[in-house]
Amino acid sequence: MQRTTEALTAPPLAISGLSVAYQKKPVLRNVSFQLPHGELVGVVGPNGAGKSTLIKAALGLIPKLAGEVQVFGAPSASQRKLIGYVPQRESVDWDFPTNALDVVMMGRYGHLGWFRRPGAKEKRLALECLAKVGMADYANRQISQLSGGQQQRVFLARALAQDARLYVMDEPFAGVDAATEKAIIGLLQELKREGKTVMVVHHDLATVKEYFDSVLLLNVEVQAFGKTAEVFTTANLAQTYGGRFAYLNQQDAEMNESGAASGIGRG
Amino acid sequence: MTDFWIILTGSLVATCCSILGCFLILRRMALIGDAISHSVLPGIVIAFMVSGSRDSFIMLLGASVLGLVTVFLIQLFQQSGVQSDASIGVVFTALFAVGVVLVSLNLRQVDLDLDCVLYGEIAHVHWNTWTLGGTDMGPKAVWLLGFTLLVIVTLVSLFYKQFKLCAFDPLLAAAVGIPVALFHYLLMGLVSMATVSSFESVGAILVVGMLIIPASAAYLLTDRLGLMIVISVAIGIASTVLGYAAAYVLDASIAGCMVCAAAVLFILAFLLSPTHGLVARKLWRRMNQQSL
């Protein structure tokens, strides 16, 4: 793969004028933004705001009506090895006959090309990735015997095995235990230190300020995009969530008082 | 010698079907296999009407095309808002009916017997032999099935990682650049081939049993895909042998006995599997209750 200087300085993900519709119903309308290098970016919005759709369209997994997606200055189809993807945990069948190590090795399939099979090198790398998410002891465990949080960590290890420069994660924090949440955020920080860019669909408004450098507020259209400190404001959230935000805000206030952290507006 | 050819034919059917069956049931597409096995009938008849011969390879081609058309139509209807099980039902019954009509229209010229299409006649395989340059090369069905098995084994082992990832996580497969649609249609094409090759021996209905039952039993017995395929094939071949023995003793339909044997093996797996089995689960529960 060509890695010119231009490719390295171009934004990790640049989307302009993206529109997507499912059977005439617009899901994304005229979405444009550019991810900055080496940041953790949260994507926040109500249910049905098109967050997962945005990710799938950015990766070229679903057809788009209009718009352009560039990854490091080229169409995403030619930059697949630079992208690591964590789908929603519920999107796969966890009863599939395979173990954790095997799932992580799947992260290498793109690099192996058409005919090469995963071998000792891939296995070693997969074990390293499992160790990074604290799952080394579970390498040979059948995946249905893992807890939800452990399954999520296996998915993250698989994305690490993709050895990408841009990571795109769909709700990695959904339904995980506190230990896994901590492990994931530690991992995101490490990726950031390595200069990688991570875009995360997130549903827990209470932790946005703590976790993300930038935030994209989405509800079919981009409502706001920028540094979390500047953009993650009550006014912008009210605009993004519409009428529902009054309720969320009240809950938020109660939660801040009690100091508890739990999911709000899962979507 | 007859026994040998029948068991060989049956084992080849079982092997072709059990390998593909694993991928079908893991992708929750067992019913698509059912649909294909029925809707290839018009393909066979049209291939016969166009070519005027019962050359198996031409029929294989015609049927494989129809198999892909089936899958394509089912997906088209699903995407246009028809419920998925309904669209499967509509497509395969309609195509099968077209096949029945075509057979009945051409009844005088075709020696395609509907009974044979539905139930197969494995006992007759050794009568229909292939002669090459004057020498008898053995039953045609064995050659056809052997060729199909070779294609299946070659493609599945060459693209094992792609088939596996497309079955487990098609989203990631697409994200890393694996042509998911291509492998989907490749699998469906192989299922069509296996179905047609097995047609003469076990018929359109019982071939579904060979596609689904051994793989479903294997699914209960292991937690590894590679091993699941091996076990599935072993169960398929065991059903063939046991089924033939039962048919010999009972003087009953051979293909029927083979699928019945597969069903018996499935029930054994269902009851006795060390991890998923009913008995193991009951025992485990009782032990836990006692320890409480």
**pLDDT tens sequence across A133-177:** 888 899 999 999 998 889 999 999 999 999 899 999 999 998 888
Name the residue of chain B whose CA is nearest to A108's CA. B176
pLDDT digits (tens, 9 = 90+) for B269-278: 999 888 777 8
Q: How many domains does chain A fold into?
A: 1
pLDDT digits (tens, 9 = 90+) for B25-57: 999 888 888 888 888 888 888 887 777 766 667
pLDDT digits (tens, 9 = 90+) for B199-243: 777 777 788 899 999 999 999 999 899 999 999 999 999 999 999
The tokens describing B166, both together, are 């497309």
In a domain, B24, yes or no: yes
CATH of the domain at B132: 1.10.3470.10
In a domain, A34, yes or no: yes
In a domain, B213, yes or no: no
In a domain, B226, yes or no: no
In a domain, B289, yes or no: no
A-chain CB neighbours of B228 within 8 Å are 97
Residue B136 DSSP one-character state: E
CATH of the domain at A205: 3.40.50.300
Sequential DSSP letters for chain A:
----HHHHHS-S-EEEEEEEEETTEEEEEEEEEEPPTT-EEEEE--TTSSHHHHHHHHTTSS--SEEEEEETTEEGGGGGGGEEEE--GGGS-TTSS-BHHHHHHGGGHHHHTTTPPP-HHHHHHHHHHHHHTT-GGGTTSBGGGS-HHHHHHHHHHHHHHT--SEEEEE-TTTT--HHHHHHHHHHHHHHHHTT-EEEEE---GGGHHHH-SEEEEEESEEEEEEEHHHH--HHHHHHHHGGGHHHHHHHHHHHHHHT-----S--
Range of the domain at A233: 5-254
In a domain, B290, yes or no: no
Residue B181 sits at the chain A interface (C-beta within 8 Å): no
For chain B, counts of helices (H) and of strands (E): 12, 2
Q: What is the pLDDT of residue A260?
A: 42
Please state the φ and ψ torsions of residue B181, each to the nearest 5 degrees.
Answer: -65, -40
Range of the domain at B120: 2-206
Residue A249 pLDDT > 90: no
Range of weakest confidence among A4-18, A49-63, B34-48, B154-168: A4-18
Q: What is the pLDDT of residue A198?
A: 93
Q: How many domains does chain B fold into?
A: 1
Residue B178 sits at the chain A interface (C-beta within 8 Å): yes
Of A59, A87, A97, the CB nearest to B228: A97
Residue A218 sits at the chain B interface (C-beta within 8 Å): no
In a domain, A131, yes or no: yes
Query: Is there a contact between A85 and B228 if contact means CB atoms under 8 Å apart?
Result: no
Spatial CB neighbours of B144, under 8 Å, sequence gap ≥ 6: B56, B57, B60, B197
Residue B226 DSSP one-character state: H
Name the residue of chain A whose CA is nearest to B81's CA. A23
Query: What are the beta bridge partners of residue A31?
Result: A18
Residue B284 sits at the chain A interface (C-beta within 8 Å): no
- Residue to mutate among A13, A55, A96, A142, with most B CBs inside 10 A, is A96
Average pLDDT over residues B96-107: 82
Residue A1 pLDDT > 50: no
Q: Are B143 and A68 contacting, i.e. CB atoms less than 8 angstroms apart?
A: no
State the pTM of this model: 0.85
In a domain, A259, yes or no: no
In a domain, A179, yes or no: yes
The answer for A 236-265 residues in CB contact with B (under 8 A) is none
Q: What is the pLDDT of residue A264?
A: 43
